Amino acid sequence: MNALGRHILVEFYDCSPDLMNDVVHIENSMVVAAETAGATVINSTFHHFSPYGVSGVVVIQESHLAIHTWPEYGYAAVDLFTCGETVDPWVSYTYLKEAFQAGHGSSMELRRGQLSLLKRTDFNLEALRNLPPKTVEADGAITRDVWFTERDENIALSLKHSGNQLYKKDSPYQRVEVYETLAYGNMLTLDGMVMCTQKDEYVYHEMITHVPMFSHTKAKRALVIGGGDGGTVRELLRHEQLEEVTLVEIDELVIEACKLHLPETAVAFGNPRLNLLIEDGIQYINNCEDGRYDLIIVDSADPVGPGEGLFTAEFYQQVHRCLTADGVMITQSESPRFNSAVFVEIYDTYKKIFGQDKVHCYLAAIPTYPTGTWSFSYSSKGESTPLRFDREAAAKFSKEQGLKYYNEEIHRAAFALPNFVKELLQQGGQKTIEAYSVESSDE
């Protein structure tokens, strides 16, 4: 060969959009493509970006293979760079074209480091290092560096995972996936958005349940809309006073995924006090009899996709109708920092339905949710108020049940709001929203 390396610039067209957005498939394909060509793989680093797109590189002893994808165009740009004569990059090209289900590809080969233009200098390699490096063969494995990224316009959360996707299915409503992350254990995502992880799910589920249960001690019947991961009903069923807990989840794949890969969260699905219904929560509420439930928890995803209808005034009015005279509605109410416009709008809606003095906001720290600060709403149809609760009973319960986040002090402290949150709730307005939101407003 009359050059040090061969560099093929590749464009794959009409690829499978799903495969172009699948970081696990792409990482595996790139590694195998390198190995098939006879390369020695050192490590791989890949990132998936939300809502779509994958970037990554496989470092080989003979140089590298790199990629970036545009799933919305079914397109991938790939670099295949190999040094020496032992590796044929065209073998990798052929393998990837098939792996990505590309309709066609184009390529251009460059010879890198033309020997006729170079002058070789001999030097003593041993003098440049104190210890010889360990070889890949001695280690017996490559280093894999595969990342999931939930990215919005101005912020992103990246979590490293094992590279082996535990669950991936498409329902009529959304894509349900489970990744094995290194920092937070198994993680459930819906349409590329983080829903819960093994190591921090308890924050969300303890705060959405125990705050109302210790503030509304007469509650006997509870309804959960959404919450197919099972964490909310798991916490509710710790309370013996509840005679009936009904969970209405629209997507049975969420339940399936969590039973398989987040069993600690989904542990209560076999409880005899649980009435599990796979159906549309909006339709269920519309058909529900007046005054049936003492407590209704809206455990919804973000206001997109199947969760969008759970963020409307019409829906909350129906929830109000289904509550007993002293009933309470609890919702996850987004992050005051992440999308301040939605935060302000939904609290204005709650107050119009339940009354200005009957709606309370409280906060919790959830590190895998956008900005790390998440809010919940407490809306009372009657005289129940979240700051009037039995501290001793809450303390005893927290200790006996081995809770990881909720206790009597957290219960009260969660309602101590930062000034910027108070300002958003009291004033609202476009200038206030723009001052605090990390996301651009559409208004």
Q: How many helices (H) and strands (E) does the chain have?
A: 14, 19
Question: Mutual orientation of helices 419-426 and 340-354 as an angle, nearest 10°?
Answer: 60
Specify burial of residue 255 (Cβ count, 10 A radius: 0-12, 13-18, 19+).
buried
- 194 with 177: CB under 8 angstroms? no
- 197 with 185: CB under 8 angstroms? yes
Task: Quickly tell me which residue has 């793989």 as its tokens.
Answer: 41
Whether residue 107 is annotated as binding a ligand: the answer is: no
Catalytic residue among 29, 47, 83, 210: 83
- β-strand partners of 76: 12, 69
Catalytic residue among 63, 92, 335, 437: 63
DSSP string for 346-400: HHHHHHHHH-GGGEEEEEEE-TTSTTSEEEEEEEESSS--TTS--HHHHHHHHHH
Q: What's the number of CA atoms in the CB half-sphere (13 Å) around residue 210? A: 31
Whether residue 306 is annotated as binding a ligand: the answer is: yes
Whether residue 229 is annotated as binding a ligand: the answer is: yes
Catalytic annotation on 83? yes
Catalytic residue among 68, 79, 320, 326: 68
**β-pair type (293-299, 221-226):** parallel
Report residue 432 as tokens.
């206030």
Whether residue 299 is annotated as binding a ligand: the answer is: yes
Measured CA angle at 144 (ends 139, 149), to 5 deg: 165
Whether residue 307 is annotated as binding a ligand: the answer is: no
Structural Rg of the chain based on CA atoms:
27
Catalytic residue among 92, 299, 322, 437: 299
Whether residue 244 is annotated as binding a ligand: the answer is: no
Whether residue 102 is annotated as binding a ligand: the answer is: no
Among residues 167, 186, 288, the alpha carbon closest in space to that of 231 is found at 186
Q: What does each C-alpha distance from 124 to 121, 127, 128, 129 come to in angstroms? A: 10, 6, 7, 10
> What CA–CA distance (Å, rounded) separates 408 from 392?
8
Whether residue 370 is annotated as binding a ligand: the answer is: no
Whether residue 152 is annotated as binding a ligand: the answer is: no
Catalytic annotation on 379? no
Whether residue 205 is annotated as binding a ligand: the answer is: yes
Q: What does each C-alpha distance from 173 to 85, 209, 219, 249, 280 come to in angstroms? A: 50, 26, 32, 12, 11
> What CA–CA distance (Å, rounded) separates 316 from 155?
30
Q: Beta-carbon neighbour count of residue 124 at 10 Å?
A: 6
Whether residue 14 is annotated as binding a ligand: the answer is: no
Q: What does each C-alpha distance from 18 to 15, 100, 176, 191, 192 come to in angstroms? A: 9, 9, 13, 12, 13
Q: Would you give the DSSP letter of residue 412? A: H
Binding residues for S-methyl-5'-thioadenosine: 174, 249, 280-281, 306
Binding residues: 174, 205, 229, 249, 280-281, 299-302, 306
Active-site residue numbers? 63, 68, 83, 299
Binding residues for spermidine: 205, 229, 299-302
